[in-house]
């Protein structure tokens, strides 16, 4: 039997809106993944450290403060610098379409889920893109 997919759900930056992050964390756990939730107000450095320490397959960043263009690239960059560039970075929150495009095309995030996305869509996406032995 394949091991369970490991996901770090993280809240970078200063905003405290954790409804989405906590709903997603619970949804992924209910879908059979192992989920670690960082809690609030995390710096990119703290998130990367947790991701490496927890040996996760996916980092899910939830941002509702408009700081996504700074924080998502920063996390991805730090992961690569620390030899953890294979960890898939995804994100969610109030992210305008143009920014979604820029983040994906720039290689900063593999996928971004905006408001109204059903939990199942995110679960399916992860199962499709993360291969575990």
Partner 1 sequence: MSGSKMDEIKVAREKWLTERMKRKDRDVRFETVSGMQVNDIYTPEEIRDFDYLRDLGFPGEYPYTRGVQHNMYRGRLWTMRQFAGFATAEESNQRYKFLLEKGQTGLSVAFDMPTIMGYDSDHPRSLGEVGRVGVAIDSLADMETLFDGIPLDKVSTSMTTNAPASILWCMYIATGEKQGVPSEKLTGTIQNDILKEYIAQKSWIFPPEPSMRLITNIFEYASKHVPKWNTISISGYHIREAGSTAVQELAFTLADGFAYVEAGINAGLDVDDFAPRLSFFFNSHIDFFEEIAKYRAARRIWARRMKEKYGAKNPKSWLLRFHTQTAGCSLTAQQPENNIVRTAYEALAAVLGGTQSLHTNSMDEVLALPTEKSVQIALRTQQIIAYETGVANVIDPLAGSYYVEALTNKMEEEAEKYFEEIERRGGVLACIEQNFFQQEIADAAYQYQRAIDKKQRIQVGVNEFVDPDEKLDIEILTIDPAIERKQVEKVQKLRRERNNLLVRDTLDALKQAAQGTDNLIPYILDCVRAYATEGEIVQTLREVFGEYKEKPTF
- Interface residue list for partner 1 (CB under 8 A): 9, 13-19, 21-23, 25-27, 29, 35, 37-41, 43, 65-67, 69-71, 74, 94, 96-98, 114-116, 118-120
CB of residue 131 to partner 1, shortest distance in Å? 25
The dihedrals phi and psi of 11, each to the nearest 5 degrees, come to -115, 90
Strand blocks (E) in 39-104: 58-63, 88-93
Q: Which is nearer to partner 1, 25 or 78 (CB)?
A: 25
- Smallest CA-to-CA distance from 56 within 84, 77, 80 is with 84
Nearer to partner 1, 27 or 127 (CB): 27
Report d(CA 24, CA 89) in Å as an integer.
15
Least separation in angstroms between residue 86's CB and partner 1 is: 25
Between 19-30 and 119-129, two packed helices, what is the crossing angle to 10 degrees?
A: 60
CB of 62 to partner 1, least distance (A): 11
**Cα dihedral across residues 64, 65, 66, 71: positive or negative:** negative
Give the dihedral sign, CA 106/97/17/68: positive
Looking at the Cβ atoms of 23 and 132, the one nearer to partner 1 is 23
Name the minimum Å distance from CB 25 to partner 1.
4
Kindly tell me which of 75 and 86 has the beta carbon lying closer to partner 1: 75
């Amino acid at each position: 039997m394949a091991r369970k997919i490991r996901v770090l759900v993280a809240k970078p930056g200063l905003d405290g809106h954790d409804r989405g992050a906590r709903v997603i964390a619970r949804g992924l756990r209910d879908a059979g993944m192992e989920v670690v939730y960082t809690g609030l107000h995390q710096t990119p450095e703290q998130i990367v450290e947790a991701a490496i320490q927890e040996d996760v397959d996916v980092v899910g960043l939830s941002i509702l403060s408009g700081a996504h263009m700074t924080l998502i690239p920063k996390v991805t960059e730090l992961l690569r610098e620390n030899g953890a560039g294979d960890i898939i970075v995804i994100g969610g929150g109030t992210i305008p379409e143009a920014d979604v495009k820029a983040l994906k095309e720039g290689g900063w995030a593999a996928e971004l889920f905006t408001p109204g996305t059903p939990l199942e869509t995110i679960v399916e996406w992860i199962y499709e893109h993360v291969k575990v032995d």
